[in-house]
Copies of this chain bind each other. A is one copy, B any other.
Amino acid sequence: MPALTVAQLARICRAEVQGDRHRLITGANTLELARESDLSFAANKKAIEAAASSRAGCLLAPLSFSAEGNWSVIRVEDPRAAFSRAVSALYEKNRPAPGIHPTAIVAATAHVAPGCSIGAYASIGEHSTLDANCLIGNGCVIGDHVSIGENTTVHANTTIYANVRIGSRVILHSGCVIGADGFGFTLVNDRYEKFPQVGTVEIGDDVEMGANCCVDRAALGVTRIGSGTKLDNLVHVAHNCQIGEHVVVAAQTGFSGSVTVGDYAVIGGQAGIGEKAKIESHAIVGGKAGILTGQIIHAGEPVWGIPARPLRQHLKGLAHVSKLPALSQELRDLKRKLADSKD
């Protein structure tokens, strides 16, 4: 089990301890569920009240925190952020030891830098390079000519096709498929002919992708996912998309071919983005929104609905529709009144 003392956790948070400095902390949990070996945190008023009865062994709390209990307390300016940092340190100790599992198949021409851990039954193709401290999970299949930057984690059973380039500190969860052929067919003499899909995929630094995401290679050129971008589970990114930096995409959203997304856009779940649409930077796309082929979503604009419209307009539209029964009644009343007045 990974373990840090309360004093070590306090050092990570650059703060002082009140209470037992030597207690060993091995996990983290909510105030309700935490036990003596767990770290917890209280950031808002409600949580601070609940903290009194928590059985956590160590508590991160605001500077003003004054309650007393069996926990050790570390007082910090931002308990949530400190918790995040402390927990990362705590669980980092869970990393598998560096080394290539004896069943992993690493091509003779591949280069695996020191500090990497390659799991059982994983395979690394010809001419592929893994920089320092990468973790490749069991059963991952990494094709030829793939490059992966340092400290990247590829979880078990993920597949990376040939020629894909992946940055540093990337996390790909299990079941992701990166670099499969894009979906391009032309009907010729009543049969669909495949247009060649010989481009590649480039994934920047600090990207995270949820489980079972699919990012297709470009037909020609590059499908690109910018640094710092985060995809939730089951997201589909088609060939030749250009997803910017620090974009957030919720689960089950799909990007058709050649979509561009600007930096810091935020895209809800189950949204569908039509071919060659352009989502500018800082735009916000609502859950389940449908963006038409070639549609442009302007910088900073929140859009909702199918087809997607500016949020305010969408809400007005919904309001008008919800007033339809009243409108219809009004018209009927007016007609009756007129009929009556004529009698």
A residues engaging B (CB < 8 A)? Answer: 27-30, 32-33, 40, 80-81, 83-84, 87-88, 91, 94, 103, 105, 119-121, 123, 137-139, 141, 155-157, 159, 161-162, 171, 173-175, 177, 180-181, 183, 185-188, 190-196, 198-199, 206, 208, 210-212, 214, 216, 220-222, 228, 230, 232-234, 236, 238, 246, 248, 250-252, 254, 256, 264, 269-270, 272, 274, 287-288, 290, 306, 316-317, 320-325, 327-328, 330-331, 334-335, 337-338
Contacts and interface: CB of A to CB of B under 8 A. Distances in A.
Assembly stoichiometry (copies)? 3
A254 to B, nearest CB: 5
B206 A191 contact: yes
B325 A327 contact: no
A177 B177 contact: no
A167 to B, nearest CB: 14
A111 B212 CA distance: 29
Contacts of A88: 194, 196
Contacts of A230: 183, 185, 192
B269 A256 contact: yes
A284 to B, nearest CB: 13
A332 B242 CA distance: 48
Top 6 A-B residue pairs of the complex, sorted by shortest distance between their CB atoms? A177-B211, A87-B196, A141-B156, A159-B174, A320-B324, A214-B233
A206 B188 CA distance: 14
A41 to B, nearest CB: 9
A222 B226 CA distance: 32
B175 A175 contact: yes
Given A120-B105, A180-B210, A252 B233 contact: no
A195 B248 contact: no
A180 B91 CA distance: 15
5 contacts: A105-B120, A121-B139, A211-B216, A251-B256, A330-B335
Contacts of A177: 157, 173-175, 211-212, 233
Nearest to A40: B220
A175 B187 CA distance: 27
B290 A287 contact: yes
A159 to B, nearest CB: 4
A212 B212 contact: yes
A29 B221 contact: yes
B317 A321 contact: yes
A111 B153 CA distance: 28
Contacts of A180: 155, 173-174, 210-211, 233
Contact of A192 (B221, B248, B288, B335): B248
Contacts of A221: 29-30, 32-33
Given A103-B105, A230-B183, A84 B157 contact: no
